[in-house]
Amino acid sequence: MSGARATWPAPETRARALSEGTAALLMTMATLGAIKNPAELPLYLRALAPLAGLGFLAATGRLLTLAAPIYAMLCLGVLGTLAVNPDPLALVKIAQIFLMVALAHFVSTRPPHELTNMAARILLPVALIAIPLEIAVGEPESVRSLGGLTLPRFMGLAGYHTHSAGLYFFLAILFLAHRRPWPALFFALATLTTGSRGFAMAGLAALAVHLAPGARLKFASAAALLGAAATTPLWIWALDQALSPQARAWLTLATTKRYEHWLTYINMGLKNPLLGVGYGAGPEAYDRYHVATLSFFEREQQAHNLYISTFGEWGPPAWALLTLFLAIVLLKVARYAPRHLPVPVYVTTLYTLHDGITEWVFWVGVGVALAHANLERARRRFAPGAAP
């Protein structure tokens, strides 16, 4: 090293530092809820980041090629918003979804352990302080009663109990997959502070796929769960045709009125079969469907189901494109990394009880699943004796 001058790091070193810095930024944004709930800024400032990001993607070509169905779906969303519900904020949110697809692509190109390392270095320390502190001095968002057991529901890191539950349990799965049992146990227990039911259902589905013996049975169970989740608009509509008024009333009560929300959004899609009612216009359309029967506290209800929400707001063609995209992801993971099928299963089943098209967990979950598939594909390709 004598006489050698300090030089700028090699390109690959800079690229790695950039990727790790980007991952750290994304993890911090997830912690602050900045991706799903941007600050209350003027519209032109809200639009600046996604538009700049889209320009960067167009200039560098960093697009997820297998996400062609999603890009087509987003284009339909833009057309529907312009034709049915010309809302500038809805267009900004669609631009943000383009960036979420780019986030999935970014995660899919990184080694899977990199995101886990970022979570351990950034999210875990924040969670170890913030979650106990919120329980100790914070006020619960609401209270859920289960069989006489009263559970307080805290808002958590993501700013709302259902979003936090999805984030916590996803991180638990992530840590468990990389043999970090203590962080996995912490985040699994943290989900209990949210009182959410969605993570429990999705977690059981992921566990069932994990325990299924053999790659073929894992794929069969994962495909069945995806099919059941993605086709909820179809089988709920078919079920409703066979129900008596008494059974329909009981089901509405048993699902805390979500059954009524689902049917309303399904009818939106059936009455607007090409472009739906427009992205973000579902709650207002819900009011129009129930204008004579809603109390003030029941107005502007969401679908609480990604697939039904897409069916009603974006239209049946967009819903079909979303289903096709998830099927492509599932097939790729099943082909190259069947051991990691629980990740896409968790993501796809979780959002049968939540709207998730702008959710960090949804897109990062897709990216993590594809990252495992890409890693296994590369290992097979460069394994000794592999065909060129």
pLDDT tens digits, one per residue of 64-111: 667 889 888 988 988 888 888 777 778 877 877 877 787 788 788 888
179 shares its domain with 323: no
97 shares its domain with 243: yes
pLDDT tens digits, one per residue of 283-339: 888 777 765 455 444 555 778 899 999 999 999 999 999 999 999 999 999 999 998
Task: Indicate whether 245 belongs to any domain.
Answer: yes
- For residue 4, the model assigns a pLDDT of 44
Task: Indicate whether 16 belongs to any domain.
Answer: no
Task: Indicate whether 24 belongs to any domain.
Answer: no
225 shares its domain with 332: yes
- For residue 278, the model assigns a pLDDT of 87
- Is the pLDDT at 184 greater than 60? The verdict is yes
230 shares its domain with 348: yes
pLDDT tens digits, one per residue of 225-244: 999 999 999 999 999 999 88
77 shares its domain with 127: no
Which of 139, 170, 196 corresponds to the end of one domain? 196
Take residue 132 and report the two structure tokens written for it: 């106990």
pLDDT above 90: percentage of residues in the chain: 22
Task: Indicate whether 102 belongs to any domain.
Answer: yes
239 shares its domain with 326: yes
300 shares its domain with 250: yes
- Domains contained in the chain, number: 2
Task: Indicate whether 233 belongs to any domain.
Answer: yes
158 shares its domain with 83: no
- For residue 229, the model assigns a pLDDT of 93
Which of 196, 230, 258 corresponds to the end of one domain? 196
Half-sphere exposure in the Cβ direction for 250 (13 Å, CA): 5
253 shares its domain with 372: yes
> Can you give the residue range of the structural domain that contains 357?
63-109+213-376
331 shares its domain with 218: yes
